[in-house]
Amino acid sequence: MFSLKKLSPSITDMIRFDHSHVMVTFHQYTGDKRPSVKKALAETICDALEIHATLEEEIFYPAMRPLAGNQKVMEKSEPEHMEMRRLIHELRNTDPRDSRHDELVFELMRDVQHHVADEETVLLPEAEQTMTKDRLSELGTQMTKRRLELVTPKAGKIAKNTAVGFSSSTAAVVMGVAGALFAARAFTRKPS
């Protein structure tokens, strides 16, 4: 039987991957896309950010809080997540044909880029300097397990939005990652 621990990247690598995934999705979004594509991309962004924020709040931030030398970045991280959730709520309630939809996506993108910059230049390097590789791996395994719990109920929606929102080559990459996560879940299930 495969071990999830062997399949899981470190928590810092997972966070960087999440950042890259959402940035790729943001860059697919343009104001001239069909409303159905804009809606699918926005939903993909929203789901990815909600899952990512939950993972950080439940696993990464509690592990990092006592170790962080830069408490200012730690203290502003969760309020930034709350603002992001507010924008997501408004975005989901805005018709993709409305110009406000584009404005909200671009506002969310700016906020996320700022948040990502803080994490990637301060928190992630600090985690890698203060935690052992085993601890980073252990947290990565915890994050993978929790991600599977959060993604599973949304798997159909995520697959549909990926198919509608992305070009075929990008969708293949995204679906490959989703397939790998699904396979990891199948290998780690306990027999009934």
Digit-coded pLDDT (tens) for 47-56: 999 999 999 9
167 CB-contact burial (10 Å; exposed 0-12 / middle 13-18 / buried 19+): exposed
Inter-residue contact 139 to 60 (CB < 8 Å): yes
**CA end-to-end span of the chain:** 15
Q: Which of 128, 138, 142, 166 is nearest to 44 (CA)?
A: 166
To the nearest 5 percent, what fractions of the chain are helix, strand and coil? 85, 0, 15
CA distance 137 to 147: 15
Inter-residue contact 140 to 8 (CB < 8 Å): yes
CA distance 25 to 181: 19
**Torsion sign over Cα 183, 81, 13, 109:** positive
pTM of the model: 0.82
Q: What are phi and psi of 158, to 5 degrees?
A: -65, -45
Inter-residue contact 117 to 77 (CB < 8 Å): no
pLDDT tens-digit map of 97-132 = 999 999 999 999 999 999 999 999 999 999 999 999
> Please, what are the averages of pLDDT over each run of 10 residues along the chain (192 residues)?
64 95 92 93 95 96 88 89 97 96 97 95 94 95 95 88 71 49 46 44
Inter-residue contact 51 to 59 (CB < 8 Å): no
